[in-house]
């Protein structure tokens, strides 16, 4: 299949196209998304599927595994992507009903983008909290291209320095209803002459208070492989993220409860409640999903070194940041 060929059908009676990739087949109706593959079939609520699909597309398959739910998802091999059903589900594995196929990233990306575009109705924003968007259900009703193609902030050096994304303002990013109490004053800076392009500071709290998306880490600073990826969270992380490396969480405000499971089987490992100021390291062999009852600010600290998954796989690096 070439990069631009997408296997899809004419609209069904609800107005939605169906899509195929390898032996996987996807269709949607008013409420549900149906997936089938040679050894099985599965159904997800359209909101769950679209919120997860939006993250997989926007993050270009992220680090490691993106589980849409306990059955379906993707594994990033950074150049190719596995699409799977039942692979990280002990019952499917035991019954030998799991199925995995590997695709060039371009092919799966283009299919996922086309599916997201066709199945997202006007008024539904998969990045928004449920309180801030219409429902995704019903027969096909327009599209919401602007919302689903938002460009994620990805600084080359740091937000605010020349060449990188600029600070948010009322005109572009009004303060979110839940962060009305966040102070908006900015630090005063007095760089030495000649260093105006090198010295920079801004209020990360003020910046995050203006985020219009949820569960969508942006890259605000880069120091070699060390990425600061803060995000604002409300309701439920739309995926179970399966790690291929350690990642750190710094809870900047409010509270998130994390459901932590074994990455490969899904068996429960921990429930972690993080309150403002709490710091946690998520091991490299787990999957996790967060619950944020009120909009909160979270700093995700990633080590983007490309060699990490292989070092962990071959036992040269630990799945824990510190071995006590
Ligand atoms: C994560 O999987 O670590 C993750 C993803 C998205 C977020 C926060 C955390 O918004
Ligand atoms: Fe994660």
CA of 197 to the centre of ligand 1 (A): 31
Q: Which of 74, 290, 296 to mutate to test the pocket of ligand 1 (most atoms within 8 A of CB)?
A: 290
Across-strand partners of 44? 33
* Nearest ligand (C-alpha, residue 243): 2
Same domain, 218 and 117: no
pLDDT of residue 278 exceeding 80, the answer is yes
CATH number at residue 110: 2.30.31
pLDDT tier at 4 (50, 70, 90 boundaries)? Answer: low
Q: Name the closest ligand to CA 127.
A: 1
Residue 117 CA to ligand 1 center (angstroms) comes to 23
Cβ atoms within 10 A of the Cβ of 297, count? 24
CA 300 to chain centre: 12
- Domain for residue 251, yes or no? yes
The whole-number pLDDT of residue 1 equals 46
User: pLDDT tens across 154-209, in order?
Assistant: 999 999 898 897 778 899 999 999 999 999 999 999 999 999 888 999 999 999 99
Average pLDDT, the chain: 95
In sequence order, what are the residues at sequence separation of 6 or more whose Cβ sits closer than 8 angstroms to the Cβ of residue 320?
A: 246, 281, 283, 284
State the Cα–Cα distance between residues 30 and 197, nearest whole angstrom.
Answer: 52
Ligand 1 contact via 217 beta carbon (within 6 Å): yes
> Could you identify the atom of ligand 1 that is nearest to the CA of residue 247?
3
Q: What is the pLDDT of residue 152?
A: 86
What residues are paired with 316 via a beta bridge? none
Residue 220 is predicted with a pLDDT of: 96
Looking at the CA of 239, name the nearest ligand: 1
* Cβ(247) – ligand 1 distance below 6 Å: yes
- Distance (Å, whole) CA 243 – CA 309: 9
User: DSSP letter string over 247-314?
Assistant: EEEEE-SSEEEEEEEETTT--EEEEEEEETT-EEEE-TTEEEEEEEEEEEEEEEEEE--TTHHHHHHT
Please indicate, yes or no, if residue 172 is contained in any of the structural domains: no
pTM over the 0.85 mark: yes
Ligand 1 binding pocket mutation candidate from 231, 243, 254, 291 (most atoms within 8 A of CB): 231
Q: Tally the domains of the chain.
A: 2
Measure the CA–CA gap between 213 and 234, rounded to whole angstroms.
9
Pick from 178, 175, 148, 152: nearest CA to 165: 152
Kindly state the average pLDDT of the residues 121-143: 98
- For the stretch 72-104, pLDDT in tens is 999 999 999 999 999 999 999 999 999 999 999
Per-residue pLDDT band for 144 (boundaries 50, 70, 90) equals very high
Ligand 1 neighbour 287 (Cβ under 6 A): no
Contacts of 205 (CB under 8 A, 6+ apart): 182, 183, 252, 253, 297
39 pLDDT band, cuts 50/70/90, is very high
Ligand nearest to the CA of 263: 2
Examine the domain organization and report whether 196 and 117 are in the same domain: no
Q: Are 291 and 320 in contact (CB under 8 A)?
A: no
Q: How confident is the model at residue 323 (pLDDT cuts 50, 70, 90)?
A: confident
Which atom of ligand 1 lies closest to the CA of 217? 10
Are 182 and 303 within one domain? yes
Does a structural domain hold residue 226?
yes
* Co-location of 13 and 142 in the same domain: yes
pLDDT of residue 197: 85
What's the 5 CA to ligand 1 centre distance in angstroms?
31
Between the CA of 215 and the centroid of ligand 1 the distance, in Å, is: 6
User: Is it the case that residue 249 has pLDDT exceeding 60?
Assistant: yes
Residue ranges making up the domain that contains 191: 177-212+214-313
Is residue 322 very low, low, confident or very high in pLDDT (cuts 50, 70, 90)?
confident
Contact 182, 205 (CB under 8 A): yes
In a domain, 250, yes or no: yes
For ligand 1, atom 6, which residue shows the shortest CA distance? Answer: 215
Same domain, 186 and 226: yes
Phi/psi of residue 41, nearest 5 degrees: -150, 160
CATH number of the domain that residue 234 is part of: 2.60.120.10
Residue 171 lies in a domain: no
């Amino acid at each position: 299949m070439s990069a631009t060929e997408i296997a899809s059908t004419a609209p069904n009676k609800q107005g939605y196209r169906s899509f195929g990739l390898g032996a996987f087949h996807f269709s949607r109706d008013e409420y549900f998304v149906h997936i089938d593959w040679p050894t099985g079939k599965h159904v997800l609520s359209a909101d769950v599927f679209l919120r997860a699909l939006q993250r997989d597309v926007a993050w270009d398959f992220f680090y490691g595994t993106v589980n849409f739910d306990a059955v379906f998802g993707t594994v990033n091999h950074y150049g190719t992507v596995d699409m799977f059903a039942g692979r990280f589900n002990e019952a499917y594995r035991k019954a030998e009903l799991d199925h995995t196929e590997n695709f060039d990233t371009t092919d799966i990306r283009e299919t996922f983008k086309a599916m997201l575009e066709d199945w997202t109705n006007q008024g539904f924003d998969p990045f928004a909290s449920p309180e801030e968007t219409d429902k995704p259900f019903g027969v096909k009703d327009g599209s919401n291209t602007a919302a689903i193609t938002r460009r994620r902030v990805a600084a080359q050096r740091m937000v605010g320095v020349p060449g990188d994304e600029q600070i948010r303002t009322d005109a572009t990013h009004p303060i979110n209803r839940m962060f009305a109490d966040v102070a908006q004053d900015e630090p005063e800076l007095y760089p030495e002459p000649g260093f105006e392009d090198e010295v920079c500071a801004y209020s990360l709290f003020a910046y995050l208070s203006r985020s219009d998306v949820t569960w969508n880490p942006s890259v605000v600073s880069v120091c070699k492989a060390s990425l600061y990826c803060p995000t604002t969270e409300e309701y439920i992380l739309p995926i179970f993220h399966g790690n291929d490396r350690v990642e750190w969480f710094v809870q900047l405000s409010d509270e998130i409860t994390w459901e932590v499971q074994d990455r490969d089987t899904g068996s429960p490992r921990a429930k972690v409640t993080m309150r403002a100021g709490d710091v946690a390291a998520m091991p490299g062999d787990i999957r996790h999903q967060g619950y944020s009852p009120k909009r909160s600010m979270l700093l995700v600290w990633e080590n983007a070194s490309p060699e990490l998954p292989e070092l962990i796989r071959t036992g040269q690096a630990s799945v824990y940041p510190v071995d006590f």
